[in-house]
Structure 1
């Protein structure tokens, strides 16, 4: 194994990660410069290359292109200090088998990336060798295209053991081969898929990958790869890393297309959740500092505004009104500071065992008295609802903020649905949600049939001071407070929304482990 890395400390750290692992049997050779690595590869060999994109004698993707030109058969895993998804995707497009952000590297993902890089390269080599053997037999027997395709399918059947979806199509994208990995990923049985158009089967009209540039690259270069959005049999969206290889006959003419698709849906979702969590953590730190400074400024202003009427009792009515306006504004500023602190660190809490049903009952009265009659309110409570350890006042604020937002999203009326349910988070659910743990939760769901939100809006709704409401009708702190309170209780928030279809917020709060809690069946999920 060849490591091309100019930072000795990071090189030692990677070496420590590899000790005592399944790939620890490989000898790690360390080179600090690209030219040193190239010189080494002219006389020696490596099973895999770990490549830093920032080297003293080469920078960025040029290092990757140079290495691939020298040793095209070696798998390369790119290491980068830059948390840049576009750069990482571009590296894979240039031929890297995988990429890792250095500050996120640990023993598990390093070993997994190295192993997968080697396995994918071995699979590619095995397929190439199988194809060569097939070509030799075809030359010896017949040039008939149908026989050649049949032989290709027999060889490709050996790849059924891989988890990747492997598909062979005609040049018109009719499916000739469909392995077990494809059945698992897309839900279509082999017998159903054979003969179908791949473009119709797993692509929607909006995600077709075929365009003149793609066809040109495939026919001229013989290889094309990209990330593609595809659909399964039950119309679920999946994101795959797709690699297309043009297969030629003995005369060098294009004959079929080999497609290898790797499901990266879960990986991308976790990356997005991690990045959002990092951003909110930074915003929380900033907001906390600003809030403390504002609090120090507002406290004497509010105190003096309250003392002035006592010190100056003979003020005119106009001046008294001005002092009241000053006090009101200072008090409003103080309330904003409290909301900012609540977002940043949860605020002070009075924790106790609590039934959320009691909080919902209190709020139900307020909603019925104050919400417009054009909004139908439906409330559902699970029987034998589990107990949470929480601050009742803060959870009341969470529920109130969500309900007010739902009301504002339905200016012409609609349906507001509030529900409380028990939910057990299993291993699969916890793996897909960054902040979830395995165990019991009580889930508070607030949904509406309002205007909904776009993907862009969804990505920012928990940012402090971000609001889609008109000026003067919202501070942009309501959902920030919801998130801050929920996190301070050890929970997390899940959101679903579509423009014109309404929104649904699910607040997951850890339940107290007690007799009867711990049913291992997940009854619901976002």
Structure 2
């Protein structure tokens, strides 16, 4: 020191007498000279700092000090307020705040020779201010939360991020165990679950019971930790921690833990923050629990906590109110004993599946009341983190079920009313049309009788034709009724729709007349359809007639075919339609079109827009029934004044098209074969018997199955059984089954005017069986019988 310049001696004498921390950085290297107050600030760095160069003495802030030296040795000053730096005063990083004033020290020549710094550490004040803002914000957030789990989760996240901790959690303490529902982690694994308090060791547990924060800076060197406890904490990636114990009425109920993966020197401010947060979270949890308890008591839903073994540990008062069981009865019996026997297995299975997947689930079952009744309960259950228990919320569905039953009864009554109204409309329409047709039949027959009696034979044929026309009209009405009701006998076969349309073009041209232009747009790669070709022809003709009537002044009618693949989204809009591949047959006209209200009614029976006396109103309803019975669909697109498009969707047939062409032949006769006719209608039985006798067959008559069975089970020759399907007692199909037991190769012809189970032939007929629909022509009956008898049933 004897060789020091006087300016250095004067500055040193000044700083040594000061009570505030002062450090002098001398020369270009910034050799450090400081007083006792600064040595306290330097912490573990003293006394090694004394005489060291400042950039090397504080390497973690070397850039900051380099700037100080550059500025002040140039003659300027620097002033900082609450300046934040991270220093390693005690071997670990530490955030500190300081007021710093830097000034140059001048030599005898008046030039800067060093720098003097007067500092005041403001860490505690700044930390207190920041802690206050943090706690205020945290309290505001906690007030908005209603469950202890959410409160714990938010608190752990906020303080973990604020302190830069590795793990933070709030644990509930009960029965010597610590339960962690949620935790904040950064770079370490989660410890959610149950843990024994014995792992802490007796010394640390004693420290917890004091009630003050337990601060550990290094788990490997803290004397309060046993070697086992130290090793256990290290294995969980804990190097240091601050624990705040929470008490209620002298009982240890909770623990707020802030952990660091490596050893850490916790500042007093950090320790205070953790303690204050712990108190706030305790208050928030108590508030949430009080609210939860209030809701628990007031809730009308059944609330419970139960384990996977089969017992409940807590139930709310709603159980007793809804079911009549006392709390003691509910908690001392297995919960499965309260379930309906049919509901117990699926309920236990759902709970077991939840235990395995750890995901909430919902189900419905019936729970016994104390008076012996059953109540429908809808349950929502969710697992607890401990893997042993779950919570359940049950809603009593009794009133909802009763309302649902009342609604179903009301809907059924409405449907019945609508059904009776529709039946009245249907029967009225049928009576009107049939009376007109029967007038033609009865009147024609009466005139035939009068003319024959009077010997006037010249006009008999005219009356026969009139009666036959009326009868044919009646048969057509019956066919349309069956089509509407989806009870007609469909012969679903592979059909080339393009060929069908082409074959009908001449007929359509004649039907439409000269004022209407007919165009066909047929797809080249059209799929084959599965449908009844005869019914499809009738439907197409009917659609074209409707289109013609909608264009009284002429226009254009377009028939188109195309392929379509309908996906699930399209099918969802039409519950009766299945997704899949369809052949579309479209008929488009340029006529008057229809309103939306008319479109909604066009498929109703007897609804028609035509004048009274023109049409039965069964045309579109017949087509609708045919399309639905075929497994297809029908759509109408129309606007007033813009024309109408009707699209028939027919199921695609996977296979090759085969065209059967039957040559025209004379009415075939029999060769003495014996035919049994079973028909309960005397007129039909008489006609069929007469036809058989005239054609050279032997006929055996039976009125029903009970009359026919003894004959069929005898040794009497029967080559063909002709039976009505709708017989009284055993029906025709059942009679055929009995007949085939004793005559396995017996050929059978069903005749039907209506058959609930014979709507689609392919699902009704076995080999050696055929079907005809009433009414039928005599030559058609003769041809069908000859075809059957001429074929080997084992080849059919």
TM class by smaller structure:
0.3 to 0.5
Larger relative contact order, structure 1 or 2 (CA cutoff 8 Å, min sep 6): 1
More helix by proportion, 1 or 2? 1
State the TM-score, normalized to the length of structure 1.
0.44
TM-score of the superposed pair, with normalisation by structure 2: 0.30
Instruction: Indicate the structure (1 or 2) with the bigger Cα radius of gyration.
Output: 2
